[in-house]
Structure 1
Amino acid sequence: MSGAAARPRGPGIRRVMTACIVAQVLIGAAVVIEAGGLLDPGRWRGPALPGFDPSQPVGPDDQTRRYRPRDVPAAPGTMRPDPAPGQPLPDLSGLPASLRIETVARGDETLLSLTGTIDQGAAARFRDRLEAMEPPDAILLHSPGGVVAEALEIGREIRARDLPTRMVAGAACLSACPYMLAGGTVRSVSRDARVGVHQSYYDRNAYLPLFVGVASIQEGEAEAMRFLQEMGVDPLLRIPALETPADAIYILTEEELTGYDLATALTD
């Protein structure tokens, strides 16, 4: 072989590849930190928001509360099912981690209550329960929210079966839950119930490029607004939701409930 001997390139290539990987990790971390607002001092101090309490009234300019699902109390007594003959009443001291679907008999009405977190598979369980019973007189709601896609599917199932939705005094319908409320052909909300909205999650993955995450969020918002329009609810309801971070909840006033057509009737 003539000419200068070829220099080994293996170690150099490995160093370059290692540097590229480290740079990508650092860039990814910077994107996550920036997108999450982790450098914002206000994020760590947190706003001086009162905790969520359905017994406390809200009014204009006093509607945002700290949001922690565990702060939502157990279902109101009027939503609790009667125990089966010979069976004790189930423990209802707190909200369940998955959506509990139960039949509630009140007077001459048969109601179906949806209580707890809207988890994966909740829509399928709800559909199975409806198919196994006579159509209920109304769907009762009390939920801190959960998986948006499941809530949308439940809302569409409610509308397809021409069922009304109802919220009794002391009930809460937060985060993704208003999509279930919107599915009702008639949507009755007690003046002593609380309906709240905030920013939603749409299966974002922090390890995906930022533009992919943004596209996913935009697609999710478009689907949510389209759903509201199909249900006869003003899609502008998403404005206060988008303005409220996920660790807070914006409680709708009576005027907003009816103004956005989310409630078709307010009850005492």
Structure 2
Amino acid sequence: MRIDEPIKALLKLDDGVLMRGAFYILLSAAAVFLLIDVRDITAMNAALPGYDPMHGDQPVLPPALTDGVPNAPPVQPASPKETLRQPIRFELTSGGVLLAEGSIDPGAADRFAKEIEARGEYVKTVSLNSPGGSVDDALAMSELIREKKLDTKVASKALCASSCPIVFAGGVGRMAEKDAVIGVHQVFNGGKDRPTAEQAMASAQATTARVARHLDTMGIGAGLWINALETPPDRLYYLTPKEMADFKLTTEPVATAKKKG
């Protein structure tokens, strides 16, 4: 066969055949990219360390995205990870301080509301020690704290990460002691069933809007949520005392908060 014969045969193909061939190639490429996107979103949803920290295979503290000690928070929280992974529990301590410790599991807001209803007249401050969890419950807890005009606090070497700062933002007065570990990252509600790419995207956008609106209502600066949005869900942006003050996440200097205990 002469070398130019395949070329002549290709030239004899009509435009319709060529267009169909190009279309099928583009369609195949689009399918591959869609599959990659779905796999990426699914993997991200399954790897949310702050979303369901009660699972034993999920790290309570994701690696740091911020400068400082590599792959670690500024200081290590005092509570063991087993304590932080348990469903959040509430204990009224001296001075009207209600300790809220553990993961914010679905249903935590209802239990918190019952606790406030039962002990509301004695509670003055909610002290948080949590790796985060359910965004819906965190929002509801934060709204109730503001409604009841309570203060919030993160004690020295206590943890408040992922959705926990949403709860912290509800306090009328917001105090972080020296060496309090507070961090943010991207959050969204995943639910029990694995979502499609469209469902995951819609959920992420809706939850982002809800959290942003809530933080604005609570008087928190936009810079806090911008840092959260820029931080993947498998990392944490650990906040410095200056950033907390600049973003209006805290209402008192660290030294003043520490003196109050």
Check if 1:153 corresponds to 2:140: yes
Q: Once the two structures are superposed, what CA deviation does each residue of 1:9-30 show, in whole Å capped at 9, x if it has no partner?
A: xxxxxxxxxxxxxxxx988744
Per-residue CA distance 1:209-251 (angstroms, 9 max, x = gap): 4233212211110000000001010133111112212121110
1:52-201 residue pairs with structure 2 within 5 A? 61-62=67-68, 65=71, 73-74=78-79, 94-105=83-94, 109-133=95-119, 134-201=121-188
Q: Larger relative contact order (C-alpha < 8 A, sep ≥ 6)?
A: 2
> Structure 2 length as normaliser, TM-score?
0.69
What is the TM-score when the length of structure 1 is the normalising length? 0.68
- What is the Cα-based RMSD across aligned positions, in Å? 3.2
Whose strand fraction is larger, Structure 1's or Structure 2's? 1
Between 1:160-169 and 1:127-136, the stretch displaced more is 127-136
Indicate the larger mover: 185-194 or 207-216.
Answer: 207-216
Summarize the Cα distance change of 1:30–1:204 in structure 2 as closer, same or farther, 3 Å threshold: farther
- Kept in 1, the 8 Å contact 2:241–2:254? The answer is no
Q: Which one is further off, 113-122 or 130-139?
A: 130-139
Q: Name the structure where helix makes up a greater proportion of residues.
A: 2
Contact 2:66 2:237 in 1 (8 A): no
**Unmatched tracts of structure 1, length 5 or more:** 1-24, 39-50, 76-91
Distance 1:249 1:59 in 2: 6
Matched-pair contact (CA < 8 Å) for 1:146–1:176: yes
Contact between 2:77 and 2:181, CA under 8 Å: does it hold in 1?
Answer: no
Sequence identity percentage: 32
Alpha-carbon distance between aligned partners in 2 of 1:59 and 1:223, rounded to the nearest angstrom: 24
Structure 2 gap ranges (5+): 1-30, 45-59, 256-261
- Map Cα deviations across residues 78-127 of structure 1 (whole Å, 9 max, x no partner): xxxxxxxxxxxxxx97325201111111xxx1210100000011001011
* Letter aligned with residue 227 of structure 2: P
Pick from 18, 33, 36 the counterpart of residue 39 of structure 2.
33
User: How far apart, in 2, do the equivalents of 1:66 and 1:255 lie?
Assistant: 19
The 1:34/1:93 distance shift into structure 2, 3 A limit, reads closer
